[in-house]
């Protein structure tokens, strides 16, 4: 976690860095700081709290200079405070460092430095890096950083500047993401593309184990061992405006309303008129699909919830056993990945440490690895054999919405492709799914029209501290995601479970007025789910159902219904999630929460 931003060029660095950090704040927001070099010396300003506090301090006490680095923090070592905020320097103020990730052996390094008399101003692992680099420094920052990181272990990205070398930034990537932005007589470094998109679309992705040497005139990458690396520039075609709120009160709401467009992008050019599925970066070897024994899905959080939908869809359409696993469990589970397997690693960012580790394990066990990810050039995409980009555009809100929905679409496309190659999808079903998929962007627009009813229903949740989401089959998979959305931004305790599970314990918690959200789209399971509604109604629950618009039965059982357009039951998650996203949003808004930056969370979890 944490966001890093660096700038060297002709313009004043501080405003550019603050602007970049603002776009990286989703990565962490408990404190922030900048270090600016004015050509003669280094000055550091930091402040606990959100970036706005730092910006206010800088407004009163500006820092002049055209070279600088900045950081927005999500605390790992040391509480959020001015003292622990980055950048950190050595005691002499010769070296300044910002860092994202964890230096695992920092205590050993710190004790060794302390034994030589070093004194530390913070509790962070980052300050140890500043000391180490200063210790190794003899006039060449690149070499000092190389020697220092040779002693450090962990997963991180760092950027350093030296007082004696104005205009030079040296960076290292060990797992945590880092991109270079190439300008005209100016250069940028950042944890993620949106930070620099306003300045340049020419991006170079730094790989693991690489060092970067940057001046306003150019960039150089080499390995930690000193071998020069050639790397192509990527042109990013995201619209910079997509990374702005564009009139919406929060990024989350904007991203929810971008879903019809995002869905169009995901499907575009992939479902061809002749009915074929064209996935441009998926190239299974001959015979692979026919021989496939098992599909593993590895992911965390919302991405795993998309994976649960994928499991149901793959098993239903392909009849291939599929397991959707928490990446953080899978990586330590000694899993039975054997035979001809495909591992689908799902990650919006493509940088989630646990998902990368599980993906790496699957590869070592000879599984083919497919990355279902949103971020072009992300670590996951670079490590995978096949890539299916979701094309959702930048997702800034911590609570994932359009990334989830486009992950679902990616899974349907993949299922159709594999199913056709295996010849297992009956033509009528295939045709119905293709028709259904094509209709989804318009139907998502329709589902967004539930907002007015959602606002009214949200009132029933605001005063409660416990809510439940239930459903069966695919509806349960969606209930899990609806519940996560609710808890992460409203801070209401929320649990999701299969509707049939309630009576095995949780029903004891349902009392007069307890809100229970029921997802009710699967025809085969309808009556069974209605039984669960009756069980909770009998205990006084207030039941809100998500149901098809033409369902004339639902209000005989539920107190309120949020209506979605009719679609093939297998595709319903793409629509039933929409009112649930809106519900979480409006409950959180009514409770007055910071929706885009919920407490204790960060967008990309790049630490274990
Ligand atoms: O970038 P990823 O998709 O790998 O992130 C995984 C989870 O951290 C993420 O989905 C998280 O659960 C969401 N932000 C919740 O809305």
Instruction: Kindly give the number of the ligand 1 atom that is closest to the alpha carbon of 403.
Output: 3
Q: For 166-211, how does the pLDDT look when each residue is reduced to its tens digit (9 = 90+)?
A: 999 999 998 788 999 999 999 999 998 889 989 999 999 998 899 9
Query: How far is the centre of ligand 1, averaged over its atoms, from the C-alpha of 312 (Å)?
Result: 20
Report how far ligand 1's centroid is from the alpha carbon of 605 (Å): 8
CA-closest residue to ligand 1 atom 7: 301
Q: What is the pLDDT of residues 51-69, one digit of tens each?
A: 999 999 999 999 999 999 9
Residue 446 to residues 48, 547, 563: CA-CA distances in angstroms?
43, 13, 9
CA angle 532, 533, 534 (to 5 degrees): 90
Residue of 300, 309, 350 best suited for mutating to test ligand 1, as the one with most atoms within 8 Å of CB? 300
What's the sign of the alpha-carbon dihedral 106, 108, 109, 110?
A: positive
* Domains 253-444 and 449-590 in one fold: yes
pLDDT at 25: 84
Q: What is the DSSP letter of 262?
A: H
Closest Cα to atom 10, ligand 1: which residue? 302
Burial label, 392 (beta-carbon count in 10 A; 0-12, 13-18, 19+): buried
| Ligand 1: residue whose CA is nearest its atom 12 | 301
Interval between CA 451 and ligand 1 midpoint (Å): 24
Mutate to test the pocket of ligand 1, among 27, 251, 305, 348 (most ligand atoms within 8 A of CB): 348
Q: Which of 214-228, 256-270, 382-396 is most confident?
A: 214-228
Is it the case that residue 426 has pLDDT exceeding 90? yes
pLDDT per position as a tens digit, 472-502: 999 999 999 999 999 999 999 999 999 999 9
Q: Which atom of ligand 1 is nearest to the CA of 349?
A: 1
Pairing of strands 322-326, 294-299: parallel
CATH number assigned to the domain with residue range 449-590, chosen from the 4 options 3.20.20.70, 3.40.50.10490, 3.40.50.360, 3.20.20.60:
3.40.50.10490
Ligand 1: which residue has its CA nearest to atom 8? 301
- Closest residue by Cα to atom 4, ligand 1, is 347
Residue of 392, 378, 385 lying closest to 203 (CA atoms): 378
Interval 521-527 mean pLDDT: 95
Architecture of domain 253-444: 3-Layer(aba) Sandwich (3.40)
CA distance 379 to 357: 11
What CATH number is given for 3-244 in this structure?
3.60.20.10
Residue from 251, 256, 301, 353 whose mutation best tests the ligand 1 pocket (most atoms within 8 A of CB): 301
Give the separation between CA 342 and CA 322, rounded to whole angstroms.
10
Sign, CA torsion 483/487/492/495: positive
* Ligand 1 atom at minimal distance to the Cα of residue 398: 14
Do residues 397 and 251 touch, judged by C-beta distance below 8 A? Answer: yes
Q: How far is the CA of 602 from the centre of ligand 1 (A)?
A: 9
Pocket of ligand 1 (CB under 6 A): 300-303, 347-349, 352, 355, 398-400, 484, 488, 604-605
Residue spans per domain, the chain: 3-244, 253-444, 449-590
Instruction: Give the DSSP letter string of 190-206.
Output: ESSGGGTTTT-SEEEEP
Beta-sheet pairing, 210-215 with 218-223: antiparallel
Q: How confident is the model at residue 306 (pLDDT cuts 50, 70, 90)?
A: very high
Residues designated as active site:
2, 603
Expressed in angstroms and rounded, the spacing between residue 349 Cα and the centre of ligand 1 is 8
Q: Indicate the range of 126-140, 244-258, 319-333, 420-434 predicted with least confidence.
A: 244-258
Q: Is the pLDDT of residue 455 over 80?
A: yes
Q: What is the pTM of this model?
A: 0.76
Q: Ligand 1 centre and the CA of 400: distance in Å? A: 6
Question: Which atom in ligand 1 lies closest to the alpha carbon of residue 305?
Answer: 10
Ligand 1 centroid from CA 215, angstroms? 34
């Amino acid at each position: 976690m944490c966001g890093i931003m660096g700038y060297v060029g002709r313009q004043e660095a501080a405003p550019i860095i603050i602007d970049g950090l603002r776009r990286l704040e989703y990565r962490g927001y408990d404190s922030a700081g900048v270090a600016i070099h004015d050509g003669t010396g280094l000055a550091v300003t930091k402040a606990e709290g959100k970036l706005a506090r730092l910006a206010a301090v800088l407004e009163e006490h500006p820092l002049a200079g055209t070279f600088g680095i900045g950081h927005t923090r999500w605390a790992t070592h040391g509480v959020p405070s001015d003292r622990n905020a980055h950048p950190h320097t050595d005691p002499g103020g010769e070296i300044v460092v910002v860092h994202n990730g964890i230096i695992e052996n920092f205590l050993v390094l710190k004790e060794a430095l302390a034994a030589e008399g070093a004194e530390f101003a913070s509790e962070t692992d980052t300050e140890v890096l500043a000391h180490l680099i200063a210790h190794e420094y003899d006039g060449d920052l690149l070499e000092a950083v190389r020697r220092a990181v040779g002693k450090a272990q962990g997963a991180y990205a760092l950027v350093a500047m030296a007082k004696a070398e104005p205009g030079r930034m040296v960076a290292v990537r060990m797992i945590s993401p880092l991109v270079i932005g190439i300008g005209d007589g100016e250069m940028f470094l950042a944890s993620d593309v949106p930070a620099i998109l306003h300045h340049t679309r020419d991006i170079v992705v730094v790989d693991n184990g690489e060092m970067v040497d940057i001046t306003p005139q150019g960039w150089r990458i080499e390995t930690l061992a000193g071998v020069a690396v050639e790397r192509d520039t990527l042109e990013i075609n995201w619209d910079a405006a997509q990374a702005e709120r564009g009139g919406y009160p929060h990024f989350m709401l904007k991203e929810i309303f971008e879903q019809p467009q995002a869905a169009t992008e995901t499907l575009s050019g992939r479902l061809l008129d002749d009915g074929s599925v064209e996935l441009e970066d998926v190239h299974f070897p001959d015979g692979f699909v026919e021989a496939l024994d098992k599909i593993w899905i590895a992911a965390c959080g919302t991405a795993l919830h998309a994976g649960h939908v994928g499991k149901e869809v793959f098993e239903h359409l392909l009849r291939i056993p599929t397991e959707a696993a928490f990446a953080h469990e899978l990586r330590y589970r000694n899993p039975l990945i054997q035979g001809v397997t495909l591992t689908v690693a799902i990650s919006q960012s493509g940088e989630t440490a646990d998902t990368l580790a599980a993906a790496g394990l699957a590869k070592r066990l000879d599984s083919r690895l497919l990355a279902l990810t949103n971020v072009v050039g992300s670590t996951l995409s670079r490590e995978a054999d096949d890539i299916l980009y979701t094309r959702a555009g930048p997702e800034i809100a911590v609570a994932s919405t359009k990334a989830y929905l486009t992950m679902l679409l990616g899974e349907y496309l993949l299922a159709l492709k594999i199913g056709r190659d295996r010849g297992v999808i009956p033509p009528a079903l295939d045709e119905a799914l293709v028709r259904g998929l094509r209709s989804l962007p318009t139907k998502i627009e329709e589902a967004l029209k539930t907002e007015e009813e959602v606002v009214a229903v949200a009132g029933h949740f605001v005063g409660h501290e416990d809510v439940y989401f239930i459903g069966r089959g695919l509806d349960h998979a969606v209930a899990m995601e609806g519940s996560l959305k609710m808890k992460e931004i409203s801070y209401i305790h929320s649990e999701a479970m299969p509707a049939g599970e309630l009576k095995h314990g949780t029903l004891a918690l349902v009392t007069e007025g307890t809100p229970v959200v029921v997802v009710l789209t699967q025809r085969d399971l309808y009556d069974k789910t209605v039984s669960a509604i009756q069980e909770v109604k009998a205990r006084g629950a207030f039941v809100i159902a998500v149901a098809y618009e033409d369902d004339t039965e639902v209000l005989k059982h539920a107190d309120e219904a949020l209506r979605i357009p009719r679609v093939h039951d297998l595709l319903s998650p793409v629509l039933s999630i929409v009112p649930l996203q809106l519900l979480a949003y409006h409950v959180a808004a009514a409770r007055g929460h910071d929706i885009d930056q919920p407490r204790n969370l960060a967008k990309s979890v790049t630490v274990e």
